[in-house]
Structure 1
Amino acid sequence: MALIDRIEDLIKAEFNALLDKADDPKKNQRQILTQLEEALSECRSTVVQVICEQKALARRNQTLAKKAEQWQQQAEYALQKDREDLARAALLEKQKCQQAQQHIEDEAAQLQQAYDKLEQDAQTLTEKLNQLRHKEAQLARREDTATTQLKARSVASQQSIADALSRFEYLERKVERVEAEVDSYELVSKEQAQWQALETLAREEQVDKALAELKQKTQPA
């Protein structure tokens, strides 16, 4: 059956290896899950069809068994009436019924094999689906964790940048304050120098005046 062959291919496929090599594991896993779910649905639907066919074969087999029994009775009755020709014909019909029963039994055996295989494949597909769904949940958790970590690191990075800018502004203000103090010291120094020069000039002027007075006093009359 084509379905069984396709299911066999899905069962043998190494999905974990395919996911590990995929560029987009999440998308690839969704596709694989869809394939498995569709195959499982078809598998169960086919199992139902097989069961229906088995029941139909069983009914046909019962009908043929009754006919064979009836032909057997007809053959016996014909012999009782000394109609060997009719007995032979009845036995021939009985033989046809038995041959048809044998074909039905062979077909039923094949259907049973298909049923057993489909049941086994359905169980295997279910296990694979559960494994992939578990892996899908793991991927989702990893994605959520990574997203959370990324947001946390982004906030931390923004906070670090804000802290760095704050420290830079603090240092900038500190430098400006120091520069202002230096400027103020230079201004005070210049004022002090000017005052000192003026005081020196005033003292020199007083000394010159005192020297002139001393000269007048010491000159002869």
Structure 2
Amino acid sequence: MALIDRIEDLIKAEFNALLDKADDPEKNQRQILTQLEAALTECRSTVVQVICEQKALVRREQTVNKKVEQWQQQAEYALQKDREDLARAALMEKQACQQALQHIEEEATQLQQVHDKLAQDARSLSEKIHQLRQKEAQLARREHTATTQLKARSVASQQSIAAALTRFEHLERKVERVEAEVDSYDLVSKEQAQWQALETLAREEQVDKALAELKQRNQPA
């Protein structure tokens, strides 16, 4: 059968080698998977047809067997009635039916062989499909893992930059705080110097006033 030959070619094909040589392994795998699933569907459909033919053949066999019995009975009845000519004719019909039974048995044997072969091919195709499904899932996991790693590393890189900027901003704020403290010390020192000068001036003024009063008291009358 052409179907069996085509399925044999699919089963014998080295799919791993085909995938390795393909420009786009994922696309090629989907195409191969589609072919396998189509072949499996056709194989199972043909198995159903073969089973229907086997059942029809069994019914034909039963019918022909009944005819064999009937022609045997007719031959015996004709002999009882001394009609050897009718008995001979009945036996010839019986012989034709027996030959038909041989053809039916041969056809049944061929159908059984086809059925067994198709059933075996269906199992092989199912196994191939399962293997490719696993490979498809493996590729999907690898792609997901690679994408996740790429995103993680990209985010990590961005976080490193952000962390560096944060450290620089922190250092800048620290420097600004130190500079502000220095400025505050300078301001305090200037204010203290001004207050001290004013206090000194006030004390000198008081001393001058006290000296003038002393001189005025010590003048002769």
User: Same fold by TM-score, threshold 0.5 exceeded?
Assistant: yes
Corresponding residue pairs, total: 173
- Compute the displacement of 1:131 (Å): 0.8
Any gaps of 5 or more consecutive residues in structure 1? Answer: 174-221
Which structure 2 residues correspond to residues 40-59 of structure 1 after superposition, within 5 A?
40-59=40-59
2:23 aligns to what SS in structure 1?
Answer: coil
Give structure 2 stretches of 5+ with no counterpart.
173-221
Per the alignment, residue 34 of structure 1 pairs with 34
Once the two structures are TM-superposed, the CA of residue 168 in structure 1 deviates from its matched residue by: 9.6
> Hey, what's the Cα distance between the residues in 1 that align with 2:20 and 2:161?
37
Work out the CA distance in 1 between the residues paired with 2:160 and 2:30.
Answer: 39
* 1:5-62 CA-partner distances (Å, limit 9, x unpaired): 1110110011111112211111111111111111111111111111110000000011
Q: Distance in 2 between matches of 1:27 and 1:49?
A: 33
Q: Distance in 1 between matches of 2:19 and 2:159?
A: 37
- Please provide the CA RMSD for this pair: 2.2
- Which residue matches 2:134? 134
Q: What is the rounded CA distance, in whole Å, between the counterparts of 2:95 and 2:58 in structure 1?
A: 19
The equivalent of 2:70 in structure 1 is 70
Other-structure match for 2:213? none
Aligned counterparts of 1:130 and 1:168: Cα–Cα separation in 2: 57
Inter-partner Cα distance in structure 2 for 1:157 and 1:89:
100
- 1:92 pairs with 2:92: yes
What is aligned with 1:83? Answer: 83
- Give the Cα–Cα distance (whole angstroms) in 1 for the partners of residues 146 and 168 of structure 2: 32
User: Which residue does the alignment assign to 1:195?
Assistant: none
Percent identical? 84
Deviates more, 1:82-91 or 1:152-161: 152-161
| TM-score, structure 1 as length reference | 0.72
Q: Supply the AA of the counterpart residue of 2:81.
A: K
With structure 2 as the length reference, what TM-score do the two structures score? 0.72
2:108 alignment counterpart = 108
SS of the equivalent of 1:102 reads helix
